[in-house]
A = this chain, B = another copy of it.
Amino acid sequence: MEETEKLLQFLQKEGFIWGPEPEIYGGKAGFYTYAPMGKLLKNNVENYIRKHFQEENFWEVECPTIMPKIVWKASGHLDSFTDKVVECKNCSSSFKADEFVDEINVKDLKKFFKEKKIKCPNCGSVLSPDLKEHNLMMKTTIGLDEEAYFRPETATTTYLPFKRYYEHFRKKLPFGVFQIGKAYRNEISPRKSLIRLREFIQAEAQMFIFEKQKNSFKKYEKYKNLKIPLLPEEAQGKKEQAKKITLNEALKKKHFKSKAYAYAIALTYELFKGLGIEEKNIRFREHPSAEKIFYAYEAWDLEVKLNTFGWTEMVGVHDRTDYDLKQHQKFSNQPMSVFNIENNEKEIPNIIEIAFGCDRPIYALFDLFYDVKSREKGKTIFKVPVHLSPVKIAVLPLVNKDKIPEMAESIYKELNENTDLTVSYDDTASIGKRYLRQTMKGTALCLTVDYDSLKDKTVTLRERDTGKQIRVKRKDIIEKVNLFLKKGKF
């Protein structure tokens, strides 16, 4: 069985991801359910991202996911957020055209399909070269007849209340906001599990900043000596490894144009390292000029090396200049310029953006921490960093008699009431089976109540990855558990 297939089976079986949903009706590609273990993990990842941005003084907002047509006209999504679709006239299947194109820079897709006579993966007939434009936004109606669309990313909805932010943050730029929430894309043929979804969670942070502030940006100083793995445009295609250089050097070499942008790169890197992803599996890849979207003044992606799919885009970090606010000023007739105290002029601020989704980092955690080797020895250990573990501690009575369950239940209750940790209770099957079951779900610690516990009021704490056990006094449990979760070991 293929590695990817093994991983997906593990995710279904252990209660992480179910789907595609609705399963009982056959399932639609690109829609999944986060099952109980997956949802706990997802909450932990989202809260980790939240905390990361909050500590850097970004403030969270929650904007609507639906906006009327004019918003998407202004943002450019209505006209250009499209995929080219190729159809099979024989069996009516549809596919994303660029899935059939290996070469980069095929400008004339119609010509490509005409010449190559690509066959339909479904029925084998030759695909029609009459390509169609397919807008990826999900269309709907507000009220009886107003055309509206679900957002394909959080970004546009975050820009719109700029003047509200400006008042809220007492007219002082730069300031930062972020949003973690649903976005929707009507992909033609989504695949690769959580990597390409039709419904997903975006996490995007924006700094609103005057152009001149970009290179006198104080928060940058903290990170200037941070080494970052960069793969600039000129190194791409030469099989060259990303090189680690400091942000300071990167600015000198003109890889980045501003300190504020370099700061956004630093935040992104720290965020992914904090997820437990090893530095060797992270790199920043510059958008080649040919790929770069016209409004992106600077654009680098953070990529993670997955076991299943290789280097995969996780984040886009963009300096979008004043493009978006100018567009919305034009379409809404509402002035977006505000007073810049530093040069006594009214200006439209720039937006520097860190844009990613939560589902890909979660997939990366599955991919990187699902321990295949242990699996081959008959064990599966999900070695996700313990601060992200779905369940932090499982309480296990050794047997279901002799007052052992009573003590275990009372410890379970105590942990629930006096901590914010997610705790589970499991009293079925042999203790060995239960240990295995918990390691497969990534549970950080198992707490066992046995006959000695009744005598001397101690319990066993068992660590997931090593199986190492320590004996702990009942009254010290919470302290020991918290210490373990902080340090990652006893």
Contacts and interface: CB of A to CB of B under 8 A. Distances in A.
Interface stretch (A30-38, A287-295, A349-357, A397-405): A30-38
A94 interface: yes
A85 interface: yes
Copies in the complex: 2
Interface in A120-144: 134, 138-144
B63 A21 contact: yes
A66 B199 contact: yes
Contacts of A40: 60
Contact of A35 (B25, B146, B164, B334): B164
A416 interface: yes
Interface string A319-342: 000000000100110100000000
Interface stretch (A67-75, A110-118, A272-280, A364-372): A67-75
A148 B138 CA distance: 10
A186 interface: yes
Nearest to A55: B416
A150 interface: yes
Given A55-B416, A59-B36, A182-B182, A68 B28 contact: yes
A168 B36 contact: yes
Interface string A14-41: 0100110111110010011111101110
A269 B65 CA distance: 31
Interface residues of A, number: 72
A488 interface: no
B168 A65 contact: no
B143 A188 contact: yes
B33 A161 contact: yes
B18 A161 contact: yes
Given A35-B164, A66-B198, 16 more contacts: A21-B161, A22-B160, A23-B160, A24-B160, A24-B163, A24-B334, A25-B160, A32-B64, A33-B61, A36-B59, A36-B168, A38-B62, A39-B62, A42-B62, A43-B50, A85-B144
